[in-house]
Every structure is written in C-alpha cells, then in structure tokens.
Structure 1
Amino acid sequence: MTRAKFFLIALICSFSWYVIPGYLFTTLSSISWVCWVFSGSVTAQQLGSGMRGLGFGAITLDWSVAASFLFSPLISPFFAIVNVLLGYALVIYVVMPFSYWGVDLYGARRFPIFSSHLFTAEGQKYNISAIVNDKFQIDMVKYEEQGRIHMSTFFALTYGFGFASIASTLTHVGFFYGREIYDRFRASYKEKEDIHTRLMKRYKDIPNWWFHLLLVGTLVVSLLLCTILNDQVQMPWWGLIFASVIAFIFTLPISIITATTNQTPGLNIITEYIMGVILPGRPIANVCFKVYGYMSMTQAISFLSDFKLGHYMKIPPRSMFLVQFIGTIFAGTINLAVAVWLLDSIENICQDDLLPADSPWTCPGDRVFFDASVIWGLVGPKRIFGSLGNYSSMNWFFLGGTIGPIIIWLFYKAFPSQTWLPLVNLPVILGATGAMPPATPVNFNSWIIVGTVFNFFVFRSRKKWWQRYNYILSAALDAGVAFMAVLLYFSVGLEDKGVSWWGTDGEHCQLATCPTAKGINVPGCPLN
C-alpha cells in the first residue's frame, strides 16, 4: 500500500471515530472504571479518576487525549517513553500516596488531591480578585486578611520536580554531551560535508543578515513595548535583555534533550522564579518575562526542528525561512483574533466554578498560567517558596536535580559495560509530570500504553512497517481528529446543540475533588 493511500484510510477512520468520544459519548475520553464501581467512596475516586485524581486504571479511547500534551506517542523513542514512565510512576504512585495519605504533607488532605487551584488554610478557594488593586498589583492589607496561599500537595510537588528537572538539564548535558559538543563545534569548520549538505548546496543559502535583521527588529519592537507601554507591560527594558540571555543559555542544552528524547524541559518555572524574586507583586511583568524567556527558547527549538526536517527533505532554505516567518505572522494574528472573539462571545469562559463539568471552555491550561502569575508575580516566590511561605523545602529539589546526573555519570564511568546507564535521562524523569496540571493522569496512561504497544509489537516485529507507515499513521490520526473537531464546532458547537445522557456527563468521579481532612466543608462533598 502506498503511503498516500494509507494516510487517507487512517485519516477517514480517525475522522469518523472522533465523533463518538468528541460528541456522542464523551465519557470515553476518560474511562475511570474505579469511580463507577465505587460511586460513593471519596478515596476510591481520588485513586481512580483520570481527570481529577491519580488515574489508577483510567484509560481513553480518544486519540486527542493520548496525544494532546506529550505529542504523539508514536514518534517518541522507547527509552524516552520508559524514562517518562519512571518519572510518572514515581510521582503519581509513590510520592503522592505517601505525601497525601501517609504524612499529610503540607496539610494535603485539606485540599483536592489533584488541582491547580489556590486555596486558603481552611480549604476554600482563594479569592484572588480581592487582593489585586487597580494596577494589577498586590494589596498587602487584603492579602494579610485572607492569609497565606496554599496549593494542593501535587501542585507544590510539581514545582519541586520542575526545579530539579531544569537544574539536572545543565549537569546532564554538561557531563554526558559536553565533550561531544566541543569536538563537534571544532570539527564543524573542517569536517567533510555529508550527503544531505552536499545536495542542499544546490539551493541558495539564507544570508546571515536575514536572521540579524529579524532579531534586531523584534528586539526593537519589544523594547518599545517595555518603554512606551510600560504601564501595561510593567516590565523594565533590562528585563527583556535578561530574558533573552536566559533563553540563549538554555537553548543548546534543552535542544539536545529534545533531539534525543522528544521531550522538552520548560523554562517557565525558572523564569517565573527569577522575575518573582527581582520584581515581586507585579504579575504582568512576571508573565511578560516568562514569555520572552521561555517561549523564545521553545520557538527557537521548534525553528531548528523545522529546518532539520527541511534539510532532510531537501526543501530550499529560503523557502523554509519565509514560510515560517509568514506563518508566524498569520498564526499570531489569527490566534489573537480568535481569543478576543471567544472572550466576547462565551459567557463565563475559563471560570470553571460557573461552568458545567463537561464544558469545553474551562481552559485548564490558561487556569494554570493564571495561577502561576499569582504565585510568582502577584504574591511572589518569597511568600510561597521562601521564608514567608509554606513551601520553602521545595528549593532542595534544585540541589538534588544538580547532583543526580553527576552520580549517574560516575556510575557509567565506573561500569562502562553497562550501556543502559546513559539512557537514564534525569531531566526527562524528573520533568515527566511537568505538564501536570493541566495534563492529567489519563493523558499519561494512554500515551505510555500506546507508545509501549507500538514499540514492542510493531517496531520490534516489523521494523520496515514502522519505518514506512508509523509517522504517516501519527499524522493521519492528528489530522482526522482536527478536521472532525472543527466540523463539530461549526455544525453543533456554535448552536449549542448537545447530546445529554449518562455517556456525556463526564467521567462520573464527582467525589474525586473532595478533601478528606476533618472539618473541611465543601459543597457536594461528604463532611468528615
């Protein structure tokens, strides 16, 4: 079968199937059978919920759930999947049960076991709007009245492992790839060109001044935003330079992790932390600094990845550059227009307290982004992870993440015959749950299962099939879901025409968000 025919068949199948989990039977997106069996048990639902709990046994029949946060499981190498599995299992099935039920870490039982919301000491949701003044800065009087901000223990631990992941990235790349980076840099000036480079010589190369002009132009526009619109942006001009330096430093080591594992450690936590320490109480400045530092690095890696693909596919470099540049302008403009349109047209958008549980407009990713701006920008790390907060012990994760790769490297040097040791990638293991929340255990369960099955039963047994059709299948599944999602939105979504029955009432784990500490009263939850 030709690849084009295979792609078309897989796309039609994916397109046709998605109408079931995407509209007619949405419960299939998270089949949390433990909740169905133990419908009256808070603990069982905390364990079994794939969306609001630890996801024990939770699975999905929805490709968009399996491939939404970690990208397609079909394109990740098996050793990377194993590393993600180790990190995920460590956090979800070892650290979390011990922290929640074992030692009640940070008063864990007063809050939901899996949540990105912020809480008061009494287990009630924190009223963020009450502590913000007209300039989007913190009102200390109101903050003192409401008390310290608390997080679910899982959310706090996610930040701790994020600290460890970003620290381990530098030492892992330095010890395992440092010599190779140095040798390749020296050899790049005298090494013989490979076949791909020789073939690409047929096309005109991109002049360096294109890149320089684009860099200078974007920096000038950004500096103007930071100076002329400083009341809105709130970030000083030196913050832009500092963010650019951070992105420059981390692009190479994180690119190596991405190239070898298909997993990209994020700079979001470290950029938020740094600006939160420098300029506490200014959430807009913190968000801008994070975007310029973190997203610049992420887009640089995406840019390099696209050029690498174009290099192997023999696409003219100038065409690649122009397509990316024009595509970015179009995508940014359209995204902004759609965001404004949705904010104006969807009532209570992103306010999950005012929306039904199965609403598509709860914005879990934006909720995490907003809460992060409160933690790092509005309140500041000193009042959360410093001497004035509850989670100062999380800073020890920086030290653990720094030392970990060095220990593994020393073991490898002592036992060079153990060739599996370099495959132990601590940045991936420690950062495995970095996307959680908004990612949930059912996303990880399905991603790991699908990736493992394909690696064992397809790649191992029929390597030629894998080489010929694997990436085509991944693209077809993505495209089928995307086309059906757009069709559903414009055909029934805009008119609010839904199907209402047991199979569209979510995953049926309403008790999974209930606290288990005595005396905490939450509507809809049993009183302990």
Structure 2
Amino acid sequence: MYVLAPLFYWLNFYKARAFPIFSSSLFAASGKKYNISEIITSDFTLDLSAYEKEGSLYLSAIFAITYGVGFASLTATIVHVLLFHGREIWEQSRASFKQKTDIHTRLMMKYKQVPDWWFWLILIVNIAATMFACQYYNYQLQLPWWGVLLACSIAIFFTLPIGIITAITNQAPGLNIITEYIIGYLYPGYPVANMCFKVYGYISMSQAITFLQDFKLGHYMKIPPRTMFMAQVVGTLIAGFVYLGTAWWLMETIPDICETTSSSSQWTCPGDTVFYDASVIWGLIGPRRIFGNLGTYEAINWFFLGGAIAPVLVWLAHKAWPNQEWIGLINMPVLIGGIGSLPPATAVNFTTWIIVGFLSGFVVYRYRPELWRRYNYVLSGALDAGLAFMGVLMYLCLELEGVGLDWWGNRLDGCPLATCPTTKGVVIEGCPVLT
C-alpha cells in the first residue's frame, strides 16, 4: 500500500489527485463530494437519468486500491488453500469418515454429543424466517427470496477455505467485497438489498468460523459439547437484542451522531460510513457502472488475476527449494489481505499493530521465550478486554458529562493537503487552491 497508493496518486490515475489520497467519501469528477440524494428515489432505488446527469462516481486512491486488494485476497485464499492444503483436506475428510480419533476426541466421547438435527433445525428455521422477512417486507429490504439462498450458499462454500486460513494465521479474509460484487451485478440499483445480501453471505460465514473457534476451544478444554452449544445459542440471542437496543438508544439520545460535518460530535461512525458508501457503490450504482465495462475502474479487476498468481509463485518456489522451510511459511492471503480494513482503519492502527506484534512475536519470542509461552496469549486477550472496558469507562465518565479530550494526539496531523486535493483549480471549502 505504501508503494501502490503514492504511485496511483501522483501519476493521477482515475483523477486521483482531484480527491484526498485517503478518504472513504465518494466524489464527483469536480473533486466535490458526490450528491447521493440527487440520484436516489424515494423508494431507495437508482434514478438512472439523474445519475447520468450527475456523472460518474470516483474514489480516493487508497479506497480504490483497497477494493483491488480485496479482489486479490479472495482469489489468493482459494488458490493457496488448494495448493498448500488440498491434499490435507482430502486426507482429513477420508479419515473423518473412517472414525479415526485423536486423544482429545477420545476424552470428549464421555460427554453427550450435539445431535445433527439441532444444527439442521437452527439452519432451516433461520433461513425460512429470513426468506419470509425478505418477501413480506420486500419494499423495505428489497432482497428477493433467491438472494437469501444464494448468500447462504456463498457462506457455506467459503467457510472451509477461510476457516483453514484463520486456523493457521488467526487472520480471516472477508467476503464483504465478493458478496457485494455478485448481488450488485445480479440485482443493481437496490442498495438495501445489497446490504442484506452482504450480511447474510459474509457475516454468516464469519459467525460460523467464530462458532467453530469456540467449539475448538471447548474441545481442548473438555467442555461438554451440548453446554458449549447452548452457550453459543443463548449468547447469540442475548447479543442480538442488546446490540439492537444499544443502537436504537444511541441514535435517539446522541445529537449529530455519525455526522462527519459536525465539529462538536465525537461520534463520527467511520465503520458505518464505509458500510453506507459500499451500499452506494455496489448496490445503488452497481459494480458494472464503477468496476465494469460502463465504469471508470474496470482495470481494478486485474487484481483478481494477481491474487490467483501470487500463491502459485510461492508454491513453485517451495517446490524448487524444499529445504528452504521459510518459503512454505509465506502466506499470500494474509500478506495481501492485511490492509483489507483500510478504510475505516488508518495508518495509525497499522502502526500500533506492527509495534505490538514485533515486540511480542519477535523480541520477546526470541529473547524471552518462556515469558512468551506463558503470557503472550493472555496479553492479547488483556489488550482486547482493556480496550473494550476503556471505551465504556470513557463514555460513562467523560462523554455523558460533556467532557472532551482535546490534546495534540486527537487533532489532525497539521498537513493541509492530507484531506485535500492537489490538482490545480479544484476548489474545496477549507482547502488551499493550487494554481
């Protein structure tokens, strides 16, 4: 990204210099933010004549490259799993049918197993309920019943390869882009349908992998499978109501929430902003008018091919030099997809991750391995929990009292061009005009 983005920007590909180098906003060719309200109808569909009048939609350099990297990460995941783990998957599948067990499985046999029909019941009931909701509330949700089945099929297909990558690297490539791409081509002009399809396709797969992670933890800790199953189901139900209630309360009680133009609001909702922008790109306008033959960014599709080729090169190198064990450790899906969270994540997030990862995974692991074995994963959990608790404490102790944290670390970097265009003659409020 530190190579591609500057080249993309300074060579002015797709008028990149008319926009900020890093932004999740959507732009018109003039450099101003795209007026979405002009091209959307009252029933949340695309007004094609208004779109043709408004003109093509443009992305910032990093936002466009991030989508390309997402394309590459997906194909790299499939090819990597087939090349490096295809035989292992086949052998493990055959062994599972022959009832071969390890010590952990034999120890777990003293507990009652979860019947298959429990899983089938939950699957069928939830799919049926989702299809009913999409049909009954089709005016609001826009997604037809076949979209639910297609989304679930995508989730089922990708659970195995992405699960393998997650098990090996603890990094899970997302399905958000490919699900948006598919439904955007099949059902363009419907942004709400695009969001629903992405949730049913991507989040279902993500939840399945999380479910498997917890079952694996319970397997090693010898927690009864039925107890683990019920904990998962009850926890999911409680979390669903808590999340919905919390979101509703925040929207009703916090003024200017998610308003990025407000200088007083700390609730800018960067993740939700990207989610909304994606619904416009892939759902309202559709990939054909942005990444297809009618769009500006058609060349970004070559990232699909690049992602497929990258693991092949590593695999060939590993076969050519089998004694070099480090070659086999190169995981292209992780290397390519590592920046998939840009945006809403920023370079500050990645810098923090790199520093902590280097200190823990290299310095402590190499020079104090006994400390690493004992405390590394405990520290990881503590950092996650500490961040969550601090967020709650800051809200209860500071935000509710109207106390803000105004210091240099919370201010902009001071560079006037960081959020401004660098093309001559582009006039944006608050930005210097280059001549």
Sort the TM-score into its range (normalised by shorter chain).
over 0.9
Determine if the alignment matches structure 1 residue 473 to structure 2 residue 379.
yes
C-alpha offsets along residues 438-496 of structure 1, whole Å, 9 cap, x if unaligned?
Answer: 01111111101211111222112222221211222222233233223212212221221
Aligned to 2:8: 99
1:149 — aligned with what?
A: 57
Native 8 Å contact 2:72 2:303 kept in 1:
yes
Separation of aligned partners in 2, 1:231 and 1:472: 48
Partner of 1:282: 190
1:402 has 2:311 as partner: no
Of residues 270, 274, 287 in structure 2, which corresponds to 1:364?
Answer: 270
Pair 328,255 (structure 1): closer, same or farther in 2 beyond 3 Å: same
Q: Does 1:258 align with 2:175?
A: no
Asked if the contact 1:263–1:428 (Cα under 8 Å) also holds between the matched residues in 2, the reply is yes
Matches within 5 A, 1:27-46: none
Following superposition, the deviation at residue 411 of structure 1 comes to 2.2
- AA at the equivalent of 1:485: G
Mark the runs of 5 or more structure 2 residues left unpaired by the alignment: none
Cα distance between partner residues in 1 of 2:315 and 2:380: 35
Which secondary structure state, in structure 1, belongs to the residue aligned with residue 361 of structure 2?
Answer: helix
Q: CA deviation at 1:509?
A: 4.6
**Which stretch has the larger CA shift, 436-445 or 342-351?**
342-351
Superposed, 1:499-514 pairs within 5 Å as 499-500=405-406, 502=408, 504-509=410-415, 511-514=417-420
Q: Shift in Å at residue 350 of structure 1?
A: 1.1
Residue in structure 2 matching 1:319, options 227, 231, 234: 227
Native 8 Å contact 2:24 2:60 kept in 1:
yes
Q: Cα RMSD (Å) of the superposition?
A: 1.5
Match of 2:47 in 1: 139
Shift of 1:507: 4.6
Instruction: Give the match for residue 493 of structure 1.
Output: 399
Deviations 1:38-70 (A, max 9, x none): xxxxxxxxxxxxxxxxxxxxxxxxxxxxxxxxx
Mark the CA change 1:413 to 1:332 in structure 2 (over 3 Å): closer, same or farther. Answer: same
Cα 1:501–1:441 change in 2 (3 A) is closer
Task: Give the deviation of 1:527 after TM superposition.
Answer: 1.0
Counterpart pick for 1:199 among 107, 114, 119: 107
> Whose RCO is larger (CA < 8 A, sep 6+)?
1
Partner of 1:162: 70
Report the Cα distance in structure 2 between the residues aligned to 1:98 and 1:435, rounded to whole angstroms. 20
C-alpha separation in 2, matches of 1:355 and 1:339: 22
The answer to whether the Cα contact below 8 Å between 1:310 and 1:320 also exists between their aligned partners in 2 is: yes
Distance 2:408 2:382 in 1: 30
- Partner amino acid, structure 2, of 1:312: Y
Pick closer, same or farther for the CA change 1:405–1:486 going to 2, 3 Å. Answer: same
What is the TM-score of this pair, normalised by structure 1?
0.80
Question: Which residue is 1:416 aligned to?
Answer: 322
Partner residue in 2 for 1:214 = 122
Shift of 1:405: 1.4
Between the aligned partners of 2:370 and 2:408, the Cα distance in structure 1 is 44
Structure 1's 96 and 271: CA in aligned 2 closer, same or farther, altered over 3 A? same
Maintained 8 Å contact 1:222/1:240: yes
- CA deviations over 1:173-213 (Å, ceiling 9, x no partner): 01110011001111123364222112212211111111111
Deviations 1:124-180 (A, max 9, x none): 001111211111001122212211100001111111111111011111101110011
Which residue in 2 is equivalent to 1:345? 253
Deviation at 1:510, TM superposition (A): 5.1
Alpha carbons of structure 1 residues 499 and 260: separation in structure 2 relative to 1, 3 Å? closer
Unaligned stretches of 5+ in structure 1?
1-90
Matches within 5 A, 1:157-196: 157-190=65-98, 192-196=100-104
Alignment-derived partner of residue 109 in structure 1: 17
Question: 1:474 and 1:501 mapped to 2: Cα distance?
Answer: 28
CA distance in structure 2 between the aligned counterparts of 1:215 and 1:293, rounded to whole angstroms: 14
Determine if the alignment matches structure 1 residue 294 to structure 2 residue 178.
no
Q: Which amino acid aligns with 1:213?
A: L
Relative to structure 1, the CA distance from residue 510 to residue 485 in structure 2 (aligned partners, 3 Å threshold; closer, same or farther) is farther
Matches of 2:406 and 2:86 in 1, distance apart? 57
Q: What is the aligned-residue identity percentage?
A: 57
Check whether the contact 1:348–1:355 (CA below 8 A) recurs between aligned residues.
no
Alpha-carbon distance in 1 for matches of 2:284, 2:398: 40
- What is the aligned partner in structure 2 of residue 446 from structure 1? 352
- Larger deviation: 314-323 or 483-492? 483-492
Give SS of 2:367's match. Answer: coil
Task: Determine if contact 1:268/1:290 at 8 Å carries over to the other structure.
Answer: yes
Residue in 2 aligned with 1:268?
A: 176
Question: SS of 2:401's equivalent?
Answer: coil
Distance 2:215 2:226 in 1: 10
Matches of 1:505 and 1:353, distance apart in 2: 15
The alignment status of 1:427 with 2:333, answered yes or no, reads yes
Partner of 2:287: 381
1:225-245 superposed Cα distances (whole Å, 9 cap, x missing partner): 121111111111111111111
Q: Which of 340, 343, 367 is the matching residue for 1:437?
A: 343
**114-123 vs 338-347, greater mean Cα deviation:** 338-347
- 1:104 maps to a residue whose letter is N
Contact map agreement 2:184 2:286 (CA 8 A) in 1: yes
My pick for the range that moved more, 466-475 or 190-199, is 190-199
How many pairs are equivalent?
Answer: 434
